[in-house]
Structure 1
Amino acid sequence: MRAGYAVGALAGALVLMATTAGCSTDPAKADSPKGSAAASAGAGGGSGDAAPAVSAASIAIEPANGTTGVKPNGAVKVSAANGKLTSVKVTGPDGTEVPGEITADGTGWSPKAGLAVSTAYTVDALAEDAKGVVTNARSTFTTLTPEKEAGTTDNIADNGTYGVGMIVSVRFDRSVKNKDAVEAGITFETSDGTTVRGHWFGDKRLDFRPENYWNPGTKVTIHYKLKNVETAPGVYGDVNKDEPFTIGRSQISTVDVSTHKMAVVRDGQQVDTVEFTAGKPGYDTWNGVMVVEAKEGTTRMTSAGVTKEGSGDEYDLVVPHAMRLTDSGTYVHGNSWSAGVIGRSNGSHGCIGVTDTKSGSASAPAGKLYDSSLVGDVFKVVNSKGKVVDPSNGLSGWNTPWAQW
C-alpha cells in the first residue's frame, strides 16, 4: 500500500509539473513567442499548443530578392502596410550602411544617396503592427555594371595654384542629358565659404566659377562623385575623386586698346605699365574679360583660318612667351617684329603683342609679364572696336552676368 501510494503521488507530481510549465517536447515549439502557447493554455486549459502570434504588418521591398542590373538611383523602396517600419538597413558587401530615413508616418523608407554601380546590397527591414507584434523581411540585389561611360576631364592639376580669375571647365566625351544630376555630382569645398556655381555650354561642357573673382589664398577642393550618376540613358560617369587646388595672389591687367598701354595690378597695387599692339582694323581684339587658360611658352602661329589665302596678309611665326586667352587663338605674346607700332598703334591680327626678342628674353617686357603670370590671371580688354568675347571662348565666362550663370 505504501509503495503504491508513493508511485501514484510521484505520477501526480509529474503531471502537475507538465501542466504548470506549459512546455512542449517538440523542439520546434520550444521557443514559442510570448503570448502564443502559454496564453492558449491559460485561457482554455486545452491539451494542444497554440500557434505563434502573427503580425498584421507586412513589408514590401523593391527591388525584389535576387534582382540584378538595378539602377543606382531611385530603385530602392521599402514600405509597410497595416503597421509601421521600425528599422531599415541597406548594406553593401563591406557592411557599410546606405544612409536613408523612414517617413514620418512609418510607412516608407528611401535612401538619401545613390548606390554604387556593380555592387551587391542587402536590405533588412522590421515593422510592427498596432499590437506591437513584429515582422521582418530581407532582399538582396545587385546594381548594374555600366556598359557605357562618359569620360570626364577638367583643366585643374592636383594641388595647382591659379589666378583669381580661374574658371574650372569640365568636359565630357559624350553628350550629357541629365544635367542636373551631373551638376549635383560635382561639388566645391572652399576654405572661405565661397559659393561656386556651374553653367553649361552645350551638352559636353560644364564650367564653374564664383560670383566674383576668387579671394587670394583660397583653398578649394572639387569633389567628383559621378560614377553612380546616369549622365544620359544607359551612360554613367567615370570618376569619383577629390581634386584640391589653391588660388594664388591677385593679378588683373587692364588692356586699353585706345592708349596701347596695359595696367598690371597685383593685390590691389599697380606694379607695371606695359606697352602693346593689339588687333588692327578688320582683326580687332575682343573686348571683355579673358583669362589665361595656358602658358604655352614658344608657340608657332599661322594665319590658317585667320586671313584669306593670297591676301598678302598671311603669316607663319614662332613667337615666345605665349599665353593663350581664347580657344579661337587670342594670345598675349612676345613680339620682336613690330617695334615701330608697339605702344603707338594696332597692327596685330587680334593678339596682344608685347616687346620681346626673337627667341624671347626674360628681361624683356613680354618675358617679365610671362614670368609674373599664372594660369587663371585676368586680362580685361577695353576700348577695342571688336565685339565682347563669347563667354564660351576660352575661360571667358566672367562676361556672363551672375544672374544668368
Structure 2
Amino acid sequence: MSTTLFSRGAKAGVSCTLLVVALGTGLTACGGNDNPLAADPYDAADQITFNGPTEAGKQADPEKPLVITTSGSDGRITDVTAVDATGRHVSGELAADGRRWHSTSPLAAGAHYTLTVRTEDDDGSPGRKVLTFDTSKPTTTKRLNVTFGPEAGTYGVGEPIVAELDQPVKDKAQRAVVERGLQVDSTPAVRGTWYWVNDKTLHYRPRDYWPVGATIKVRSTLQDIRIGDLLYGGTAKPLTITTGNRVVAVTDAATHRLTVYRNDEKIKEIPVTTGKAGFETRNGVKVVLAKQYFVRMKSSTVGIAAGSSDSYDMPVYYATRVTWSGEFVHAAPWSVGSQGSANVSHGCTGMSTSNAKWFFDNIHEGDVVQVVNSKGKAMELFDNGFGDWNLPWQKWLQGSALSSGAQSATPQGNPARLSPQGL
C-alpha cells in the first residue's frame, strides 16, 4: 500500500497577516519586508544535530535509525524529508515539541540519500538545511526475492494479487517490513491489504471486488532494505494488470439454475446440475482459474476406484476451472435430462454443450463463480484456488502484519496441484 512518508509539526503562531491586494500592490505584511515568512529560509546548520556522517567518504549504517535534534533552545524542527536516489522515502516521527525527529522505517543499504530538514526559530522565521549521505553496503549477500502474480494481462474483478517469497518469513516484525515494501496502487483507488497465507505467500485484495476497468500496479521497494539479521530485500519484477467487466455467475444448487450477471445486470440464466449426494459441490465464492477447451476427466484422480458405479473416464469440453482439485463448470451432454431439475454430477456444474460454449466464451480468468444452497462443504480459503472472498473483511485485516489485530498464526497449507476431477 502506498504511504505518505513524512512528518510535520504544528506551525508556530504568527501575529502578522498576509493580504493579497487586488490592485497593483501585490503582497504586504505588517508594513513592508519585516514579515519573517517572506524571507528566504536561513541556513539551519547551526540549529540541528544529525547522527549521520558529516565527513566526506564516511557512510551511514543502514541498520541504525536517523536521528535529528535541535542543538539549542532557539527554534524547532517542522518537517523532515529523507529520500534515496530511486525515489524511496523514509518515514519518520517528529516529537510534539519539535525538538527531535527519528526515522521509523529502515534505510536501504548502498544507497544515496538527500535529507531536507526544515526548522522555525522563535520569531517564526523558516530555516532549512539539505544534507546528502551514503549508506554502507549490506554485510551479507542473503536476499529475499519476491515474485508477483498473476501474469500481466486483463482479469476479472475477483482476481487477487499474489506475492511469493523465495524463503520463509515468520517473525511478525520482519513481516511488517516486508509488507510495507510491497506496494499496490489501483486506479480508481480502493482500500485493500495483504494477508499472510503462510510464511512465503501473501494475497492482496480490496474490501469488495476490484472496480471495473481498473489499472493495478504492484511493485516492491524492498531492494537493499534490511529485513532481519543477515537478510536484505532482493529483486522483484513489477506487475501491472487491468480488470474487465464485473462478471459474477451464481449457481443455485437448490433450483438448479446458474445466473450470469455483467456489471450487475442479469444477462443469462442456464439450467444446470451440480454434485449429487456424497459429491456435493462446494458452497461459496470461487474465482475462475483457467479455461480449457478439452479435459480428459478420470475418477481415479479423485479417489474413486476403477470398476465402481461412480467411476468414469471420458472427454469433457468447454471446461472452466474454479478449484485446483478439479471442480469445473463444463459441458455435460450426458446429463441434459437432469439439468434444471436434479443434481447428478460428481461435484462439477454441468450444462448443455451450447450453454457451456456460451459460458466459456463469456467468462474470463478472475471472474467470480459463486455456489449457494448446496449441501456441500464451504470453499477452502487458500489451498484449493482463490477462496479469498469468503473471508469477511474484518477477518481479512487480521491477516496483515500491519494490523493491530493481526494474527501470528495463519493457514499453512500448500495449494493442491491441478487435478481433473470433473463430472
Category of TM-score, reference length = shorter chain = 0.5 to 0.7
Shift of 1:404: 1.0
Alignment of 1:108-187 (within 5 A): 108-111=100-103, 114-119=106-111, 141-144=135-138, 147-158=141-152, 160-177=153-170, 178-187=174-183
> What TM-score results when the alignment is normalised by the length of structure 1?
0.68
Among candidates 381, 392, 401, match of residue 392 of structure 2: 401
Q: Which residue of 2 aligns with 1:37?
A: none
Q: Which residue of 2 aligns with 1:255?
A: 251
Deviation at 1:194, TM superposition (A): 1.6
Change (3 A) 1:298 1:170: farther
AA in 2 matched with 1:116 = A
Counterpart amino acid of 2:185? Answer: E
Q: SS of 1:368's equivalent?
A: helix
Shift of 1:329: 2.4
Q: Secondary structure at the match of 1:389?
A: coil
Alpha-carbon shift at residue 240 of structure 1 (Å):
5.0
- For residues 12-31 of structure 1, the C-alpha deviation after alignment (integer angstroms, 9 at most, x for no partner) is xxxxxxxxxxxxxxxxxxxx
Report deviation, 1:382: 0.9
Task: Please report how far the alpha carbon of residue 266 of structure 1 lies from its aligned counterpart in structure 2 after TM superposition.
Answer: 1.4
Residue 198 (str. 1) matches residue 163 (str. 2): no
Any idea what the Cα deviations from partners look like across 1:50-96, whole Å, max 9, x if unmatched?
A: xxxxx999956358987889446x54445576678989997868999
Task: Work out whether 1:379 is the aligned partner of 2:379.
Answer: no
Q: In 1, are the aligned partners of 2:112 and 2:133 still within 8 Å (CA)?
A: no
Match of 1:265 among 240, 250, 261: 261
Give the letter for the 2:345 counterpart. S
Change in Cα spacing, 1:259 to 1:176, as seen in structure 2 (3 Å) is: same
Shift of 1:126: 12
Aligned to 2:239: 243
Find 2:340's aligned residue among 336, 340, 343.
343
What is the Cα deviation at residue 191 of structure 1?
Answer: 2.5
Q: Tell me which amino acid in the other structure corresponds to 1:377.
A: D
CA–CA distance in structure 2, aligned partners of residues 95 and 371 of structure 1: 43
For residues 175 and 162 of structure 1, the distance between their equivalents in structure 2, rounded to whole angstroms, comes to: 29
Change (3 A) 1:388 1:107: same
The answer to whether the 8 Å contact 1:117/1:146 transfers is: no
1:292 touches 1:377 (CA, 8 Å); kept in 2? yes
Please name the residue that 1:286 is paired with: 282
1:182 touches 1:229 (CA, 8 Å); kept in 2? no
* Aligned position for 2:128: none
Of 356, 367, 373, 2:357 maps to 367
| Structure 2 residue 215 is matched with structure 1 residue 224 | no
With 213-222 and 113-122 compared, the bigger mean Cα shift is at 113-122
Residues 102 and 288 of structure 1: CA distance in aligned 2, closer, same or farther (over 3 Å): closer
Return the alpha-carbon distance in structure 2 between the equivalents of residues 75 and 354 of structure 1.
62
The 1:380–1:69 alpha-carbon spacing in structure 2 relative to 1, beyond 3 Å, is same
| Higher Cα radius of gyration | 1
Q: Which runs of 5+ in 1 are unaligned?
A: 1-54, 128-136, 357-363
CA RMSD between the two structures: 4.1
State how many pairs are aligned: 338
Partner SS state of residue 343, structure 1: coil
Q: Are 2:148 and 2:239, in contact at CA under 8 Å, matched by a contact in 1?
A: no
Q: Is the 8 A contact 1:279 1:348 kept in 2?
A: yes
Deviation at 1:115, TM superposition (A): 3.1
- Say if 2:62 and 2:108, in contact at 8 Å, map to a contact too: no
Matching residue of 1:353: 350
Matches within 5 A, 1:40-55: none
After superposition, the Cα gap between the structure-2 partners of 1:234 and 1:325, relative to the gap in structure 1 and judged at 3 Å, is: farther
Q: Deviations over 1:152-175 (max 9, x none)?
A: 2333333x2222222222222321
Alpha carbons of structure 1 residues 106 and 344: separation in structure 2 relative to 1, 3 Å: closer
Tell me the alpha carbon deviations over residues 121-169 of structure 1, each in whole angstroms, 9 at most, x when there is no partner: 6989999xxxxxxxxx9975413165233342333333x2222222222
Deviation per CA, 1:332-363: give whole Å up to 9, x if none: 2233443443333323222222322xxxxxxx
Alignment partners' CA distance in 1, 2:362 and 2:138: 50
Where in structure 2 are the equivalents of 1:11-30 lying within 5 Å? none
Partner residue, 2:42? none
